[in-house]
A and B are shown apart, each in its own frame.
Chain A
Amino acid sequence: MNNGAGRRINGGVEEEDDEDDVNGDLDAWERTYTDERSWESLQEDESGMLRPIDNQALYHSQYRRRLRSLSSTAARIQKGLIRYLYIVIDLSKAASEMDFRPSRIAVIAKHVEAFIREFFYQNPLSQVGIVTIKDGVANCLTDIGGSPESHINALMKKLECSGDSSLQNALDLVDGYLNQIPSYGHREVLILYSALSTCDPGDIMETIQKCRKSKIRCSIIGLAAEMFICKHLCQETGGTYSVALDESHFKELILEHAPPPPAIAEFAVANLIKMGFPQRAAEGSISICSCHKEAKVGAGYTCPRCKARACELPTECSVCGLTLVSSPHLARSYHHLFPIAPFDEVPSSHLNDPIRKQKINCFGCQQNLLDSGNKAGLAVVCPKCKRYFCLDCDIYIHESLHNCPGCDSFRHSKAAPASED
């Protein structure tokens, strides 16, 4: 599907880097074939004809399983909405390998960018920092902060890979930073690990225990294969460990980390957090902004406590340290606490019922739920309003919309008060 399309686009990019060591003795045209192995995305059907592998049902069943596992645990548990997340990016030699097109690091960078945006969109009250591992040393690329742009810009500038990778150094560094944050924040590390080994100066088991004691939730996404130490780390600290099959799977895996995880029980105490709701400054007014230290015209926010000026929200006021948010940010964090129930799958025999056959359309996009061959496709039904939806709408509703159109329209037609559920 989109996987194949992505490859084709990236194929063009790849041809430019001529000096690669791995396949240096092959011609460019050979390389495209050996690396891409496009024949593997084809399979033979019963009559011996070639057809692309039908992955859609597979992907969707994976998605459903994930959704169900999430909703079964997440029925009424507290969620950590204020997250302090360090993204650790492995820039060792292994990250420059080309089994992802054009290279692992390019793919990582692309999806980290998307992830950071998505992360702030879903968790407006949270903050992110980036740490890189290179030549066996961990470096802090950006300090923890709430501005997606600054992180993305800093990351894009530093994408050279070299040397070994050291998990322990990275964990030690992150542990040092995260220990300072206030107790209401949820400490998390997301490690994007390309290497298959770690060269550590000391005993990594001690470091893992240290992370566990300071309640840091470590999650790892591997790009090559399952490593024992990564699995161990994730198990000990309550994080998740996954390995990406290909680029689209990697994207899915990294975006899974965007919704807030369940809160660790010991931290689930009620806390009062001070926040300011700054006013947007009048258009055309000129003032010096506190974040960039330069004069700017218009489009800024004024801290309600110290009147300093910030360029974007959400952020922390650099003068008085107040958390500055806007009300839509709070509202956007809200839906995590009341997720919509997962839809039930409809048995295909039900759809094939000749009486109903005519009228079954997806309530979301109004497409007919029957395939062109008059064979029943997959469909789902909302357990509350009993409307049918197609698979694409199912995903859209659960991952982006967070409201069921069926239930909402039902309520409007009855002229019920538009209370949020």
Chain B
Amino acid sequence: MKFLIEDVTVYFPYDHIYPEQYSYMIELKRALDAKGHCLLEMPTGTGKTIALLSLITSYSFSRPHTPIKLIYCTRTVHEMEKTLAELTLLHNYQVKHLGPQARILAIGLSSRKNLCVNPTVVASENRDSVDAGCRKLTASWVRAMAAENPDVPTCEFFENYEKAASAAVLPPGVYTLQELRAFGKQKGWCPYFLARHMVQVANVVVYSYQYLLDPKVAGIISKEMQKESVVVFDEAHNIDNVCIEALSVSIRRQTLEGATRNLSRISQEIDGFKATDASRLRTEYNRLVEGLALRGNLPIADNWLSNPALPDDILKEAVPGNIRKAEHFLHVLRRLVQYLSGRLDTENVEKESPVGFVASISSHAGIDQKTLKFCYDRLHSLMLTLEITDTDEFLHIQTICDFATLVGTYGRGFSIIIEPFDERMPSIPDPILQLSCHDASLAIKPVFERFQSVVITSGTLSPIDLFPRLLDFHPVVSRSFKMSLTRDCICPMVLTRGSDQLPVSTKFDMRSDPGVVRNYGKLLLEMVSVVPDGIVCFFVSYSYMDGIINTWNDTGILKDIMQHKLVFIETQDVVETTLALDNYRRACDCGRGAVFFSVARGKVAEGIDFDRHYGRLVIMFGVPFQYTLSKLEYLRDTFQIKEGDFLTFDALQRQAAQCVGRVIRSKADYGMMIFADKRYSQHDKRSKLPSWILSHLQDANLNLSTDMALHIAREFLRKMAQPYDKTGSSDRKTLLSQEDLEKMGDGSMHEMLY
């Protein structure tokens, strides 16, 4: 269908549109007009992606003289594939209706691991070794050597791509990763480098957050993007964490040991070079005197790491004299590693600010701040000079230099935390030194400054005024949309008491109470007997989950649960958890039924949907507060965000809402959510839940005990099993056709929605 939004004709590939999608497009269009950033919240399952894509592409058609580029960032490769599939559909529709002028070039960009077609390289198991494998075949000195000596292996795809030079372009169209690989194979061109090249000219680019946010990658991939771009961060509820992670470094004992190994290898290489080719080291020295900016002249395949988070002056400045010589630099690094390993030998948890840390380095190891600041780039230059291709071997020393540069550069917004052991296993020493970033705005700042419009969108962003403060930007539009539902397909409940009427909570003084643990067990046991197929349980932490499962096992509750459903548990091991998830799905499919125990902030199960029968019920055992004092202090001092506000925002809005939000992915779906903690019934906590959950939370479901919840669950499941009428009855219209849209002016539209 096509329709007008103000002066833009929107081409939408489906016959019907949800009313909330329509108003979403209106707001988005206004933000584009104003050339500003915007923040839009719309529940999952309402078709955000297609609304975004079709509006932005249509917008660009309607203004042919000022073309805009769409940069669409997703969290995972899977989401990227989904987005590209939607885009293919949209593109076909637009070409059908608009003719050849609607042709655009849209590509997805991913790591070499996902794009490489060279069979020997792609056979390696992890990302880093694929990257290194590729560099071994494509680095400029390797190719120079191959030109003299044909026995040196090179990558034929890359060679062909280089030979084709400017002729190597992609014809217009939408390319998924799969299609890109197929195209590369057919032409004999390397799809990865082709895609990287085409990113500069493509109309739509779909890639991962890291390519824009992680300073280590952003500089290479995204530096030449035009200003007239619209950047979309989809599923952006965790964007501040991504930003923070991009600038945080953690160092363990293994890292230091690896770094020491790396250093001795580098020094061997240097000795080797001294004997054979001393002039090379001298040219490097000369270059460093002139400053790091020269690096730009290196060929593109070698340009593998850079750091736009660094201030510009560092690139123009000369590298400090004490690390210009390779040996001197190695000495500095050795001292740094020595110092760090000394710090790791502590017995207590220590916390320090970067300024104090730098001062202590300078007094103990004799390395000043300026030297630290240059470590990263100095290492980079050294490795290029030494022609080191197996970069995955050198990750450890890179981490150390990364750390040094960040500590040297930023005096505020970070803190250094040294923990002697993992809090779950205090008896085993496993020291870790973390440089943790508190300020999410640091990493995202260049993005806001560079691009015309940045769209941050997700199912859960409320309270919508907090994000602009966390990320330090000023949106021109920030709106939250509700989902229009034909039936009450979500059933949130707040359970405060167990079957014996005693309160349940994971509050610190109550969490180990055997009565609470037993009541939680009883709750789950009752629920597995009335809920079909899949149930997902979220616990507040791994340690709490381990403890409670142990107790359930001892008291036999776990065995009783197993009679109804199979039990799967998320662990910190990726492979194990993937296997568990896979089997969980199978158990749900074949009707055996399954329970999945997960952790509210668990990294592994994050981003995995438990839609349809894979999750008919979610139980949140407790409130997932995360307590990091230093970060809260920083937020309070810098952005005037109160500790309590951020805590409840983080725990309820984000974690709880994300956990339960994964159950409903479409309007035909249905699911229940139980918030099992007495704290949820407090008004200040409850009111922080996202509005789409709150609007379904009836007063009658606020203060339940196990048996009452059981009854409600039974009734709800029966009601939802009845045949489902998609379009909704006349008074609750949830699907609009083209005529409906034409018929209703803007006025009635607004009435209906708000």
**A interface, CB within 8 angstroms of B:** 34, 37, 94, 99, 164, 167, 196-200, 203-205, 222, 224-230, 242-245
Contacts and interface: CB of A to CB of B under 8 A. Distances in A.
Interface in B489-539: 529-533
A224 B532 contact: yes
B501 to A, nearest CB: 12
A151 to B, nearest CB: 28
A225 B591 contact: no
Contacts of A37: 711
B714 A203 contact: no
Interface in B685-731: 707, 711, 714, 717-723
A204 B563 CA distance: 19
Contacts of B531: 196, 225
B37 interface: no
B593 interface: yes
B697 to A, nearest CB: 19
A69 B51 CA distance: 34
Residue of A197, A198, A200, A224 ringed by the most chain B CB atoms within 10 A = A197
B612 A225 contact: no
A197 B532 contact: yes
Given A196-B532, A224-B530, A229 B718 contact: no
Contact of B592 (A99, A198, A243): A198
A143 to B, nearest CB: 28
Given A196-B593, A198-B591, A228 B532 contact: yes
A227 B589 CA distance: 9
Contact of B591 (A94, A99, A228, A243): A228
Contacts of A243: 717-718, 721-722
B709 to A, nearest CB: 13
B588 to A, nearest CB: 7
Contacts of A204: 590-591
B590 A225 contact: no
B29 interface: no
A99 B613 CA distance: 23
B654 interface: no
B396 interface: no
B135 interface: no
Residue of B564, B565, B612 ringed by the most chain A CB atoms within 10 A = B564
Contacts, number: 75
Nearest to B533: A228
17 contacts: A94-B529, A164-B563, A167-B591, A196-B593, A197-B565, A200-B592, A224-B718, A225-B532, A225-B717, A226-B532, A226-B717, A226-B721, A227-B613, A242-B721, A242-B723, A245-B718, A245-B722
Chain A contact residues, majority secondary structure: loop
Given A196-B564, A200-B590, A226-B721, 14 more contacts: A164-B563, A167-B591, A196-B533, A197-B591, A204-B590, A224-B530, A225-B616, A226-B717, A227-B532, A227-B591, A242-B721, A242-B723, A243-B717, A245-B719
Nearest to B534: A228
Nearest to A199: B592
B381 to A, nearest CB: 58
Name the 4 nearest CB pairs between A and B, nearest first: A229-B591, A243-B721, A225-B717, A228-B613
A99 B593 contact: no
A97 to B, nearest CB: 8
A229 B722 contact: no
A99 B720 CA distance: 17
Nearest to A243: B721
A421 to B, nearest CB: 32
A227 B564 CA distance: 14
Interface string B566-606: 00000000000000000000001111110000000000000
B612 A228 contact: yes
B283 to A, nearest CB: 67
Contacts of A34: 707
A196 B592 contact: no
A242 B723 CA distance: 8
Nearest to A37: B711
Contacts of A228: 532-533, 588-589, 591, 612-613
B530 A196 contact: yes
Contacts of B707: 34
Nearest to A233: B591
Contacts of B717: 224-226, 243
B590 A229 contact: yes
Residue of B563, B616, B718 ringed by the most chain A CB atoms within 10 A = B718
Contacts of B590: 198, 200, 203-205, 229
B460 to A, nearest CB: 27
A196 B721 contact: no
Nearest to B707: A34
A250 B385 CA distance: 80
Contacts of A222: 721
Given A196-B593, A200-B590, A227 B718 contact: no
Contacts of B613: 227-228
Contacts of A200: 590-592
B714 A99 contact: yes
A204 B591 CA distance: 9
Residue of B532, B588, B719, B723 ringed by the most chain A CB atoms within 10 A = B532
Contacts of B588: 228
A227 B532 CA distance: 6
Nearest to B723: A242
Contacts of B714: 99, 224-225
Contacts of B721: 222, 225-226, 242-243
Contacts of A224: 530, 532, 714, 717-718
Interface in B140-171: none
A353 to B, nearest CB: 24
Contact of B720 (A203, A226, A242): A226
A222 B613 CA distance: 16
B533 A227 contact: yes
Contacts of A242: 721-723
B326 to A, nearest CB: 63
Contacts of B529: 94, 196
A227 to B, nearest CB: 4
